[in-house]
């Protein structure tokens, strides 16, 4: 008998999961989205996809892009600009060398650069602020709304039913397994469900007395207009020393940060209100200012730039900076793909594979699911004080650890 699968939440993760399930003919699949596809966090994502040696799940995303474009007949705005890893200290530059060796071993385009060479690749960059840089060619960006639409189109073509304007209000269990859903459009009998509700996943599952180890935090980038227009092909950048990253955006410079002591949301279960669609939080210059100063030191023309937009979009984090992917709560048929730690576009293909392998009980899963197990924090997830404190440290500590 065919499984009846509901994917709940139509962001970049839910649409990817639905498509990956359909590709492997996992069952009869419906995707239920409360508002419109991409209306949660996905619509304002910066859309960067950056390979970091040792994190090969990211390569899967880069491989997935042409596949989903082909299946959907739709482009997703992928631009492989490469990324400059900026070092302001010799020790940081040394920490890039193993990554350069890993890229070399795979014959990927890359280069260790002295300060002048690095500045030669980015017209706003100040060579005097650098000890050197590593150029990593396996990086770029895409349009998050476009890839969400492409996943959805490819999923529909494979028979997935997508219902927008349909909110899941309750989950029905029978004999320890998923039996159905209550939705604003009526009841639905299902035997398998995947919770892809981003910021709202913990709140939905709390109806079952389950507390996912995730919490929402404020997360920012700004778009600045300097005295020079940037070419689209300008490489993106990351500075682990300054905890800032960025890229070109329609000729302007987009830059954001992974802040220390990130501000956790105060709403129940760390989520904004249910009607927070296509919405942002208020600008938070107090929190962002130290990182803006660091960015202006690397890119001096930012000192006089016009800030055209401040994007403070909440994002979900976990204590260890890894997403929550897989079966959850010892309830048969219940799966979770949530808490993407500001990497949901990048991790969307990984989420698709891990969830599909879990539902199909594949003996040879493409990825080891253990690092992503949603129950890996055990009962500590119930301790809200511990969780909020741990999550508040996660953006900066996890970000720095990626480059150690
Ligand atoms: C400032 C910022 C910059 C970022 N930059 C990057 C980047 O450069 N690269 C990258 O990879 N990632 C980036 N991210 C992270 C990325 O945007 C997110 O991780 C990703 O969008 C999360 O996708 P999602 O599908 O899990 O959640 P969402 O997009 O929030 O989707 C969840 C959906 O679930 C729906 N939903 C909720 N409850 C219910 C319910 N009860 N019933 C039905 N539907 C429901 C919501 O309406 C929503 O549409 C960034 C995030 C921020 C905030």
The rounded Å distance from CA 49 to ligand 1 centre is 15
- For residue 25, report the distance from its CA to the centre of ligand 1, in Å: 25
Angle at CA of residue 127, ends 100 and 346, nearest 5°: 45
Tally of domains in the chain: 2
On whether residue 69 sits in a domain, the answer given is yes
pLDDT, tens digit, for every residue of 87-111?
999 999 999 999 999 999 999 999 9
From 315, 337, 351, 355, mutation site for ligand 1 pocket: most ligand atoms within 8 A of C-beta: 315
> Residue 311 CA: which ligand 1 atom is closest?
1
Q: Is the CB of 140 under 6 A from ligand 1?
A: no
Atom of ligand 1 at shortest distance to CA of 245? 8
Q: Are both 235 and 365 inside the same structural domain?
A: no
The preferred substitution site among 42, 58, 279 for testing ligand 1, maximizing ligand atoms within 8 Å of CB, is: 42
Name the residue with tokens 């910066």. 46
Is 39 near ligand 1, meaning CB less than 6 Å away? yes
CA dist 6 and 171 (Å) reads 11
Tokens of 346: 């990048």
Where in the sequence is the domain holding 276, given as residue range(s)?
Answer: 83-139+216-317
pLDDT of residue 404: 64
Query: Torsions phi, psi of 172, nearest 5?
Result: -105, 130
| 310 within a domain of the structure (yes/no) | yes
Cα of 341 to ligand 1 centre, how many Å? 10
CA gap 349, 239 in Å, rounded: 26
CATH number, domain of 165, equals: 3.50.50.60
In a shared domain, residues 224 and 349: no
Cβ atoms < 10 Å from Cβ of 25? 11
pLDDT tens, residue by residue, 252-293 = 999 999 999 999 999 999 999 999 999 999 999 999 999 999
Rounded Cα distance, 74 and 72, in Å:
5
Per DSSP, the residues of 22-81 read: HHTT-SEEEEEESSSTTTTTGGG---EEE--TT-THHHHHHHHHHHHHHHHT-----B--
Domain end (from 317, 340, 365): 317
CA 11 to centroid of ligand 1, rounded, Å: 5
Same domain for 305 and 226: yes
Question: What number does the ligand 1 atom closest to the CA of 341 have?
Answer: 19
How far is the C-alpha of 96 from the C-alpha of 59, rounded, in Å?
18
- For the Cβ of 265 lying below 6 angstroms from any atom of ligand 1, the answer is no
In a domain, 285, yes or no: yes
Mean pLDDT by 10 residues, the chain (404 residues): 96 98 98 98 95 87 97 97 96 95 96 98 98 97 98 98 98 97 98 98 96 96 96 96 95 96 96 97 96 97 96 96 96 98 96 98 97 94 93 85 69
388 belongs to a structural domain:
no
Q: Per the confidence metrics, is the pTM higher than 0.95?
A: yes
Ligand 1, atom 2: closest residue by C-alpha: 45
Nearest-atom index, ligand 1, CA of 312? 1
Which residue minimizes the CA distance to atom 16 of ligand 1?
A: 344
Quick one: 90 and 112 in the same domain?
A: yes
Q: Tell me if 46 CB under 6 Å of ligand 1.
A: yes
């Amino acid at each position: 008998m065919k499984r009846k699968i509901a994917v709940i939440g139509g962001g970049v993760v839910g649409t990817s999961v639905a498509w990956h399930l359909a590709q492997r003919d996992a069952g009869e699949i419906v995707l239920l989205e409360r508002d419109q596809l991409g209306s949660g966090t996905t619509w304002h994502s910066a859309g960067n996809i950056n390979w970091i040696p040792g994190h090969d799940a990211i390569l899967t995303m880069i491989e997935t892009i042409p596949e989903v474009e082909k299946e959907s007949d739709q482009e997703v705005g992928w631009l492989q600009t490469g990324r400059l890893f900026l070092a302001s200290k010799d020790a940081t530059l040394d920490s890039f060398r193993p990554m350069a060796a890993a890229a070399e071993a795979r014959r990927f385009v890359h280069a260790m650069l002295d300060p002048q060479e690095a500045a030669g690749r980015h017209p706003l960059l100040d060579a005097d602020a650098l000890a050197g840089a590593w150029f990593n060619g396996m990086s770029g960006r895409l349009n998050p709304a476009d890839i969400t639409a492409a996943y959805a189109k490819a999923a529909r073509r494979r028979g997935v039913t997508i219902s927008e304007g349909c909110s899941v209000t309750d989950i029905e269990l029978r004999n320890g397994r998923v039996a159905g859903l209550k939705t604003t459009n009526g009841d639905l009998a299902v035997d398998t469900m995947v919770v892809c509700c981003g910021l709202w996943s913990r709140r939905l599952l709390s109806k079952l007395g389950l507390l996912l180890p995730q919490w929402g935090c404020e997360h920012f980038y700004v778009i600045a207009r300097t005295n020079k227009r940037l070419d689209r092909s300008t490489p993106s950048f990351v500075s682990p020393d300054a905890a800032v990253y960025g890229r070109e955006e329609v000729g302007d410079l987009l830059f954001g940060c992974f802040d220390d002591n990130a501000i956790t949301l105060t709403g129940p279960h760390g989520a904004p209100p249910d009607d927070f669609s296509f919405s942002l939080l208020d600008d938070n210059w107090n929190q962002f200012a130290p990182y803006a100063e660091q960015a202006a030191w690397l890119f001096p023309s930012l000192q006089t730039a016009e800030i055209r937009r401040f994007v403070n979009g909440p994002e979900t984090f976990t204590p260890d900076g890894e997403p929550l992917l897989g079966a959850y709560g010892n309830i048969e048929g219940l799966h979770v793909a949530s808490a993407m730690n500001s990497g949901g576009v990048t991790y969307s293909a990984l989420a698709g594979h891990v969830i599909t392998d879990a539902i199909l009980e594949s003996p040879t899963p493409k990825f080891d699911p253990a690092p992503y197990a949603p129950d890996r924090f055990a009962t500590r997830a119930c301790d809200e004080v511990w969780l909020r404190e741990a999550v508040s440290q996660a953006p900066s500590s996890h970000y720095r650890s990626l480059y150690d």
